[in-house]
Amino acid sequence: MTDQNSETKTAPTNFIRQIIEKDLAQGRHARIVTRFPPEPNGYLHIGHAKSICLNFGIAEAYQGDCQLRFDDTNPAKEEDEYIQSIQRDVSWLGFEWAGDVRYASGYFDTIYDCAVELIKKGLAYVESLTADEMREYRGTLKAPGKPSPYRERSVEENLALFEQMKNGDIDEGAAVLRAKIDMASPNISLRDPTLYRVRKIHHHQTGDKWCIYPMYDFTHPISDALEGVTHSLCTLEFEAHRPLYDWVIEHCALPAAPRQYEFARLNLNYTVTSKRKLKDLVDGGYVGGWDDPRMPTIAGLRRRGYTPASLRKFCEMVGVARADSVVDMGMLESAIRDDLNQNAPRAFCVLRPLKLVIENLPDGHEEMLDAPVHPQNEALGTRKIPLTREVFIDREDFLEEANKKFKRLVLDSEVRLRYGYVIRANEVIKDAAGNITEVRCTYDPDTLGKNPEGRKVRGVIHWVSATRNVPCEVRRYSRLFNEANPDKVAEEGLTFLSNINPDSLESLPAALAEESLLGALPETRYQFEREGYFAVDRDSTTEKLVFNMTVGLKEGF
């Protein structure tokens, strides 16, 4: 499969690239540094792919660096499995982070020092109000907050209390460290935001060293500055936090002054892009796991058959703007369809087999027919398809009676077996219940590669040999949710889970693929002629290949 990295270099411009080009032109930075900062609390999803393509794409385009940093300030929800999967997904998408993987937790010492410095400058204090009281004091969008009675604690008292917090002498919830900014600010995130809280839990990176953990809004600017990040790109929900980001950069002694820029989140219809909701789907058993092919996770899309190039292309098509929007799932599907149409080898797979006996072929007849691997790309060569006396066609490709519009096999008429001969259906065999079990045919030996004279053939159908084939299970998927916006629920009290499509997985356990697919490895992708695009699943065994349907041949569901 071709999978060039080149398209990102020519990616269309956007407002962030324009800012960077201006910064470079004005000599503001010698080298551009970005970062992708996931919290390891779930698998990455298609929305993250947008952020990854943006951050790594910019580093590539301007010969800068993009770092991978785990924003691991909330150890209660974080796991090593997520740390591993995130690295795997970023690499698979085709990007390389600069240097080692970084962890915000790697800066906990410095972040702590910054907090102590702020206390010494009179810019932070230990709060002893309860969480409920703090909420009450914070005010609302319309009403200003009011100062806490603990706001004017002395520097010495604050230092001593913060030290106690650090040493585990203060219970969770009994105290937090707050920045002393402005309780009357119209921007609520500036109303003395929390910088540190007590959490007496084990951290996957720092073990039991800390029982206080810095908040995201405090950690993030410091981590960016320590890593020399020049442009800290995040999604729009952080826009209101930008003044706090700048406040931290201004008041802590840091080696650099990164700037934050916000862009719109990617939302896709008929699915959810929130790690929390995706975790609900996994934990609730609604899907088989984070990499279930119905999941909009990168791991799920990969298993479904998406290529890295198709996801990068999709992100490029979506673009980077400041307006929130919902992208149609069809756009994602068209990105992979275009890729596979160009690159996937063709194969025959009969999804619902119906036996067809070619009576004028002798028992044991085996004739190797040639078929192109890709009809538009001769360089890929040909594959051999064995023709035998008994073959299988798809049940949907045969009718006892039909009008002229049915371009497949009908009793007493002719159809071509693709890359083979024209056959005529002469007789139908049925079981006691009246189900068709077999179709008896004859073939015209004079029709290989040419049409019969004076007769009309209805169409061309795919087929596989009954004796030389590969048994398969084919899994077809439809949307995971019945609602374009899964959060739109029918009644109050229901959640997005009420919109799950109960029929999103259809298994065809008795499919048969052509012999050349024997031993195909997981993630190999094919176009099954007339059916769609399919990828080998990791559930495959030596006895049976398992395929996931990636996408249909044409747009439309």
Residue 65 contact partner, candidates Mg ion, ligand ATP, none, CB within 5 to 8 A by sort of partner = none
Report the residue number, 153 or 277, with the smaller CB distance to Mg ion. 277
Q: What are the DSSP E strand ranges found in 128-183?
A: 176-179
What value, to the nearest 5°, has the Cα angle with vertex 338 and ends 336 and 339?
65
In whole angstroms, the minimum distance from the beta carbon of 32 to ligand ATP comes to 17
Q: Which does 265 bind (CB under 5 to 8 A by kind): ligand ATP, Mg ion, none?
A: ligand ATP
Q: From the list ligand ATP, Mg ion, none, which binds 69 (C-beta under 5 to 8 Å, kind-based)? A: none
How far are the Cα atoms of 170, 255, 370, 429, 500 from residue 114, in angstroms, in the given order?
A: 20, 12, 71, 83, 47
Tell me if 39 contacts Mg ion by CB under 5 A: yes
Distance CA 107, CA 15 (A): 31
Q: Which is nearer to Mg ion, 51 or 271 (CB)?
A: 51
Q: Decide whether 85 or 524 has the Cβ nearer to ligand ATP.
A: 85
CA distances to 88, 181, 333, 510 from 146, rounded to whole Å, are 47, 12, 52, 70
Choose, by CB under 6 A, the member of 34, 51, 271, 465 that binds ligand ATP: 51
Q: Please tell me which residue in 191, 197, 275, 302 is annotated as part of the active site.
A: 275
Residue 235 contacts Mg ion per CB under 5 A: no
CB atoms within 10 A of CB 368: 10
Of the listed 17, 77, 265, 352, which one is catalytic?
265
Query: Smallest distance, Å, CB 275 to ligand ATP?
Result: 4
CB of 191 to Mg ion, least distance (A): 22
Judge whether 59 and 31 are in contact, CB under 8 Å. Answer: no
The CB-of-479 to ligand ATP minimum distance in angstroms stands at 18
Strands 422-430 and 414-417: antiparallel
CB 526 within 8 A of CB 345: yes
Q: Which stretch binds ligand ATP (CB under 6 A): 19-27, 35-43, 410-418, 528-536?
A: 35-43
Reading the block at residue 323, the tokens are: 């307006």
- Residue 238 beta carbon to Mg ion: minimum distance, rounded to whole angstroms: 10
Q: Angle, to 10 degrees, between the axis of helix 108-120 and the axis of helix 155-167? A: 160
- For ligand ATP (CB under 6 A), the number of binding residues is 15
Which is nearer to ligand ATP, 250 or 324 (by Cβ)?
324
Give the one entry of ligand ATP, Mg ion, none that residue 235 binds, where binding means its C-beta sits below a cut-off of 5 to 8 angstroms depending on kind. Answer: ligand ATP
Closest CA to 51 of 219, 216, 231, 258: 231
Residue-wise burial string across 201-218, b where 16 or more C-beta atoms lie within 10 A, e elsewhere: eebbbbeeebbbbbbbbb
Tokens of 472: 């398969």
**Does residue 39 have an active-site annotation?**
yes
Task: Select from Mg ion, ligand ATP, none the partner in contact with residue 50, using the beta carbon and a kind-dependent cut-off of 5 to 8 Å.
Answer: ligand ATP
Distance CA 289, CA 292 (A): 5
* Rounded Cα distance, 264 and 235, in Å: 6
Closest to Mg ion by CB, 39 vs 246, is: 39
Q: Please report, as residue ranges, which positions from 255 to 284 form the binding site for ligand ATP (by CB under 6 A).
A: 265-266, 273-275
**Residue 516 is inside which H or E element, if any?**
none
Residues 199-238 that bind ligand ATP (CB under 6 A): 234-235
Of 469, 551, 550, 477, nearest to 510 (Cα)? 469
According to the binding rule CB under 6 A, does residue 47 interact with ligand ATP?
yes
Give the range of 10-18, 33-41, 251-259, 335-343 binding ligand ATP by CB under 6 A. Answer: 33-41
- Of residues 21, 39, 117, 157, which has the active-site annotation? 39
* 3-state SS, one letter per residue, for 33-90: EEEECCCCCCCCEHHHHHHHHHHHHHHHHCCCEEEEEECCCCHHHCCHHHHHHHHHHH
Which one of Mg ion, ligand ATP, none is in contact with 38 (Cβ closer than 5 to 8 A by kind)?
ligand ATP
Closest separation between CB of residue 244 and Mg ion, Å? 16
Distance separating alpha carbons of residues 136 and 126, to the nearest angstrom: 17
**Residue 7 C-beta: closest distance to ligand ATP, Å:** 19
296 binds, among ligand ATP, Mg ion, none (CB under 5 to 8 A by kind): none
Closest CA to 419 of 398, 391, 400, 441: 391
Residue closer to ligand ATP by CB (options 47, 94) is 47
- Shortest CA distance to 334 belongs to which of 41, 533, 128? 533
Rounded Cα–Cα distance for residues 5 and 93 (Å): 10
Q: Report in angstroms how near the CB of residue 406 gets to ligand ATP at its nearest.
A: 45
Indicate whether 87 belongs to the interface with ligand ATP (CB under 6 A): no
Nearer to Mg ion, 39 or 113 (CB): 39
Rg (CA), the chain: 31
Q: Say which entry of ligand ATP, Mg ion, none residue 293 contacts (CB below 5 to 8 A, set by partner kind).
A: none
Q: Does 104 bind ligand ATP (CB under 6 A)?
A: no
Helix 46-61 / helix 80-92 crossing angle, nearest 10 deg: 50
- Main-chain dihedrals φ then ψ at residue 241, nearest 5 degrees: -90, -5
Of 266 and 441, which has the nearer Cβ to ligand ATP?
A: 266
Residue 312 is a catalytic residue: no
Quick one: what does residue 307 bind among Mg ion, ligand ATP, none, with the CB cut-off 5 to 8 Å set by partner type? none
Q: Find the residue with minimal CB distance to ligand ATP.
A: 47
Among the residue ranges 12-20, 32-40, 152-160, 164-172, the one whose residues contact ligand ATP (CB under 6 A): 32-40
Give the footprint of ligand ATP on this chain (CB under 6 A).
Answer: 37-39, 47-48, 50-51, 71, 234-235, 265-266, 273-275
What residues are annotated to the active site? 39, 265, 275
Give the footprint of Mg ion on this chain (CB under 5 A).
Answer: 39
